[in-house]
Amino acid sequence: MKQFYQQTKDQALTKLLVDPKIGLTTEQVQQNRQLYGRNQLPEKKKDPYWKIFLRSFKEPIIIVLLGAVILSFLSSIYAFRTQNNPQHGLEALYEAIVILILIIINAFLGFWQEISAQKNLDALREMNNRIATVYRNKEWQTIATKDIVVSDLLKVKLGDFVEADVRWIQADELQVIESHLTGEADAIAKNSATINQEAELGDRFNMGYSGSTVANGQGIGLVVGIGENTELGNISRLIDSVEEKVSPLQKTINKLTKTLMKVSAGIVILTFIIGILRAGELSINSITSVLSTSIALAVASIPDALPAVLSIVLTIGASKMAQNKGLIKSLDSVETLGSTSYICSDKTGTLTQNEMTATKFYDGEETFNVSGLGYAPTGKIESTTGSTAKTSIFLKGAVLCNEATIKEENGKFLPFGNPTEIALTVLGQKAGLTKEALLKNNQLIRTLPFTSDRKMMSVVIKNDTGYWLYTKGAPDVLLRNSQNILLNGKTVATQNAEAEFMKIVDSFANEALRTLAVGFRQLTENQARKETVEKLETDLTIVGVAGIIDPPRPEVKQSVKTLNEANIEVVMITGDHANTARAIAYDLGIVKTKDAKVVNGLEIEKMTDDELFKTVPTTNIYARVSPEHKQRIIKQLQHHQQVVAMTGDGVNDAPALRVADIGIAMGINGTEVTKDSADLILLDDKFTTIEKSVKSGRTIYANIKNFMRHELTTNIAEVLALLLGLLLFSKTIGQVPAGTPTLTALMVLWVNMVSDALPSFALGYDVAEADIMKEDPRDPNESVLANHTWSRVLIRGTIMGAMVYLSFWWAANIGMSSSEAQTVAFLTLVFGQLWHVFDARSSHSLFRRNPFGNRNLVLAVLFAGITSILVTILPFFNLVMGTANLPAWIYLLVIFVPALPTFILSGLKEIFGITIW
């Protein structure tokens, strides 16, 4: 049987039952989906829920606690059986049960965090699904690539991935890269001719394969294989779902947690030895009593929640960012966004609306003004001397050399295609000229699609008078490829007419208009059919230029201002004309003067790296830039230690996006290849989304920092309170015997899992501090604990720890029992934390933020405060946790006195501007 590449186009279409005029019908799509399935490769299997649940039992802290449970059980059995002490036996049993319950709650919390982090990531991936264009029910439609079915007619253009295996039935200068299958890195030209003999994969010029990228031109292919039944499916039966990169912050925190674990293990062993030595004997009794303090210490000193909370805060941050239309592809970008110091942005579509209207044109004789904005073909065309529009070669070229269409639906005019070309189509219609009508007398032979490297687009046509090339593109580029210019109605040699022609172009550009010239030339049949693009687009006669308005997006001006206040430089890098770029940059506040410096692509070309290095700090506009220039600009900015975010929409921008610290692609107008290499996708193509994403990046980082500060402060306070007790409480005071630990193990566990974990967690969701976009970008090499975070943690942790021990000692001195004194210490610690958490949320001080700004935090604090008091009142908890009822006035003391250090330190800071605490 003949393979698809050996069949003619028509045979292939007939075999797969497709009428190319209609495309697939809805029923055919459903039938084929049932027959062949979805266009997806099977994903790697995810861990089942039970495995994820059990994973949290592998954490060191949980292992320590499980050890404690077993010891408590043993101790209980020992008390019941050997010592005949049911009271102690019951206590130990309850302790074991409560620790077990807390472990299970903790496991559920970890499980929930992991599942929601995963769900968030999955949702982000789903949003990042690729799309494709297919012809169905007589219409071109955009669908998710997984919905492509066999027999679909798939359209691809420069920058797309070929999303299925296809037999090409139309190819315009089509070239694709198939290196993933053949190892051949160069682009291969494709056509739709039949191959009559057997051919290797790499030689099947009429076939396209899933996973290839379109490097030039455009084409339409008949889908012959999808999903697993493609050549790509043959070589990779399994693909990993998007990799989960560990962010530098996660690495730092994992490392920090490990170091702290080692330190705590040392402290625990030391405490155990000291305790045993003090007890003077090695018995089950002495071991269980010393172990209790050791376990408390172990629990106190391990910031166990850090890594889990970090990953959920990052993923939730990423989801929030996506709701604001900034889709990040890996979590480490959140961090990088926070330290971005340079944003290099395209102009068209990002800073401007990408809704273009031709408002002026020069047709080689006169300049015309065009009225009427939008896509309706109504508007007056009037020359500056008062004459009305006439059919010129310029207008004919502008309409023919064009792939855009306007469709009227219920009185509305809907544009399809490239905005620049849409503007010219509308202009043609205003002058009574349509491509359809022109094609009646002109046959379209070839289309040479637009590339931003060439900055031109051409068509070859045939009519009664022979073969003709029409080219439209950037005026300066056309000038370089021209011989003559039509000026004041006469054809003049380019060198004599150039200056006057450029005057007209500059006058358009100075009004912030995008300029586009049209040229033509006659061709021989051989040239028309076979000549390369480079050779065709030369020897032109320029016949006019259009001025197209693309209004700036209104919200960008404010974004630029905000970013400048945040000490982030905004740079415009555009393919457009220098004057157009400058006029718009001035309008948006990117530059402050009307004659600001603009560096042109040609100038960059001539510069050495050293020269460019010196140029970049003082340049905010680059014009007529090609994608390769972008890479050079980024690298030089990076040599200035800048963290650079760069936008790009075309396929050739992909390498620049990879070089940038944050590569940004356009979700709507960007090509699939560019999106693939980006770190951030702007789902709405708007510049303001970059600003919002940077703000989110900064906020998430600040929240993580605050959360860590709070966690570590508490850990230090707990460890210190216990250690001070161990070292200093060597003599019996009142009713409290020597060696009584400051806090019981279960109190510490409670603090860690309830009164500390919940408010800390809420810190991760905090809103941005008011001045977050007024600060300088963070140095990316700076540690998360830099800028006095360590000193704040140490000073506050030490004071809080000392206070907890002192409260215990004071309670013993006024004659309280052991459990009462421990309860005083417990509540002092709990409320110390609950006050401190409001300070931890600010990089300045407690007084600078509205304490009710984070509702989650207020609720968490109220919950933690109330339940912590309840466990000192309810008899069951008294028995299990070793807490006791306290007189009312002591409750008041333990709630409010712990607020003092926080208020005093914050106050001193405000008055004297001290930063170390």
Minimum CB–partner distance for residue 639 and ligand ATP (Å):
23
Among the listed residues 321, 457, 459, 708, the single contact to ligand ATP using CB under 6 A? 457
Return the residue nearest ligand ATP (CB atom): 575
- Told to check if 575 binds ligand ATP by CB under 6 A, we report yes
Minimum CB–partner distance for residue 651 and ligand ATP (Å):
12
Among the listed residues 4, 53, 168, 450, the single contact to ligand ATP using CB under 6 A? 450
The answer to whether the Cα torsion of 383, 387, 388, 393 is positive or negative is negative
- Told to check if 576 binds ligand ATP by CB under 6 A, we report yes
Cα within 13 Å of Cα(288), Cβ side: 19
Facing residues of 623 across strands? 600
Question: Cα-atom radius of gyration of the chain, to the nearest Å?
Answer: 36
Minimum CB–partner distance for residue 448 and ligand ATP (Å):
10
- Told to check if 173 binds ligand ATP by CB under 6 A, we report no
What share of residues in the chain are helix, strand, coil (percent, to 5)? 50, 20, 30
Decide if 175 contacts 188 (C-beta within 8 A): yes
- Told to check if 822 binds ligand ATP by CB under 6 A, we report no
Stretch that binds ligand ATP, among 94-102, 248-256, 277-285, 450-458 (CB under 6 A): 450-458
Minimum CB–partner distance for residue 435 and ligand ATP (Å):
14
Minimum CB–partner distance for residue 218 and ligand ATP (Å):
13
What is the C-alpha to C-alpha distance for residues 186 and 215, in angstroms, rounded to an integer? Answer: 9
Minimum CB–partner distance for residue 525 and ligand ATP (Å):
25
Q: Residue by residue, what is the 3-state secondary structure of 324-359?
A: CCEEECCCHHHHHHHCCCEEEECCCCCCECCCCEEE
Minimum CB–partner distance for residue 33 and ligand ATP (Å):
36
- Give the active site residue among 346, 676, 685, 766: 346
Of residues 262-291, those binding ligand ATP (CB under 6 A): none
CA distances from 557 to 61, 227, 698, 883, 909 (A): 52, 46, 21, 60, 36
**CB nearer ligand ATP, residue 348 or residue 620:** 348
Of residues 460-489, those binding ligand ATP (CB under 6 A): 472-474
**CB nearer ligand ATP, residue 167 or residue 347:** 347
**CB nearer ligand ATP, residue 53 or residue 520:** 520
Stretch that binds ligand ATP, among 151-159, 160-168, 361-369, 454-462 (CB under 6 A): 454-462
**CB nearer ligand ATP, residue 335 or residue 421:** 421
Among the listed residues 157, 455, 521, 629, the single contact to ligand ATP using CB under 6 A? 455
What is the C-alpha to C-alpha distance for residues 254 and 251, in angstroms, rounded to an integer? Answer: 5
The answer to whether the Cα torsion of 610, 613, 614, 616 is positive or negative is positive
Decide if 324 contacts 129 (C-beta within 8 A): no
Q: 58-97 in b/e burial notation, b at 16+ Cβ within 10 A?
A: ebebbebbeebbebbbebbebbbeeeeeeebbebbbbbbe
Binding mask 6-25 vs ligand ATP (x if CB under 6 A, - otherwise)? --------------------
Binding mask 516-545 vs ligand ATP (x if CB under 6 A, - otherwise)? x-----------------------------
Among the listed residues 155, 514, 675, 792, the single contact to ligand ATP using CB under 6 A? 514
Minimum CB–partner distance for residue 399 and ligand ATP (Å):
13
Minimum CB–partner distance for residue 478 and ligand ATP (Å):
9
Stretch that binds ligand ATP, among 60-68, 219-227, 510-518, 799-807 (CB under 6 A): 510-518
Of residues 291-350, those binding ligand ATP (CB under 6 A): 346-349
Of residues 359-418, those binding ligand ATP (CB under 6 A): 418
Minimum CB–partner distance for residue 440 and ligand ATP (Å):
23
**CB nearer ligand ATP, residue 646 or residue 708:** 646
**CB nearer ligand ATP, residue 106 or residue 674:** 674
H/E segment holding residue 406: strand 405-409
Torsion region of 787: left, alpha or beta (phi above 0 gives left; psi -120 to 50 gives alpha): left
Annotate 636-688 with DSSP letters as a single string. Answer: HHHHTT--EEEEE-SGGGHHHHHHSSEEEEETTTS-HHHHHH-SEEETT--HH
Say which amino acid occupies 842: S
- Told to check if 216 binds ligand ATP by CB under 6 A, we report no
What is the C-alpha to C-alpha distance for residues 310 and 316, in angstroms, rounded to an integer? Answer: 10
Binding residues with ligand ATP: total (CB under 6 A): 22
Minimum CB–partner distance for residue 456 and ligand ATP (Å):
6
Centroid of chain to Cα 60:
33
Of residues 23-62, those binding ligand ATP (CB under 6 A): none
Write down how long the chain is: 917
**CB nearer ligand ATP, residue 634 or residue 726:** 634
**CB nearer ligand ATP, residue 455 or residue 792:** 455
Annotate 791-836 with DSSP letters as a single string. Answer: HHHHHHHHHHHHHHHHHHHHHHHTT--HHHHHHHHHHHHHHHHHHH
- Whether 346 is a known active-site residue: answer yes
Facing residues of 472 across strands? 457, 518
- Told to check if 456 binds ligand ATP by CB under 6 A, we report yes
Of residues 833-892, those binding ligand ATP (CB under 6 A): none
Binding mask 410-449 vs ligand ATP (x if CB under 6 A, - otherwise)? --------x-xx----------------------------
Stretch that binds ligand ATP, among 356-364, 512-520, 592-600, 897-905 (CB under 6 A): 512-520
Residue 105 gets which letter from DSSP? Answer: H
What is the C-alpha to C-alpha distance for residues 891 and 206, in angstroms, rounded to an integer? Answer: 83
Give the phi and the psi of residue 775 in degrees, each rounded to 5.
-90, 165
Minimum CB–partner distance for residue 652 and ligand ATP (Å):
9
Decide if 878 contacts 817 (C-beta within 8 A): no
**CB nearer ligand ATP, residue 471 or residue 868:** 471
Among the listed residues 39, 452, 699, 818, the single contact to ligand ATP using CB under 6 A? 452
Stretch that binds ligand ATP, among 328-336, 483-491, 513-521, 681-689 (CB under 6 A): 513-521
Q: Residue by residue, what is the 3-state secondary structure of 366-395?
A: CEEEECCCCCCCCCCEEECCCCECCCCHHH
Nearest residue to 591 (alpha-carbon basis) of 555, 629, 618: 618
- Told to check if 674 binds ligand ATP by CB under 6 A, we report no
Give the phi and the psi of residue 873 in degrees, each rounded to 5.
-100, -40
Residue 429 makes CB contacts below 8 A (sequence gap 6+) with 377, 406
What is the C-alpha to C-alpha distance for residues 550 and 355, in angstroms, rounded to an integer? Answer: 6
**CB nearer ligand ATP, residue 575 or residue 901:** 575
Minimum CB–partner distance for residue 566 and ligand ATP (Å):
23
Stretch that binds ligand ATP, among 20-28, 286-294, 514-522, 740-748 (CB under 6 A): 514-522
Annotate 547-616 with DSSP letters as a single string. Answer: EEE-PBPTTHHHHHHHHHHTT-EEEEE-SS-HHHHHHHHHHHTSSSSTT---EEHHHHHH--HHHHHHHG
What is the C-alpha to C-alpha distance for residues 223 and 221, in angstroms, rounded to an integer? Answer: 6
**CB nearer ligand ATP, residue 596 or residue 899:** 596
Catalytic center residues: 346
What residue ranges bind ligand ATP (CB under 6 A)?
A: 346-349, 418, 420-421, 450, 452, 455-457, 472-474, 514-516, 574-577
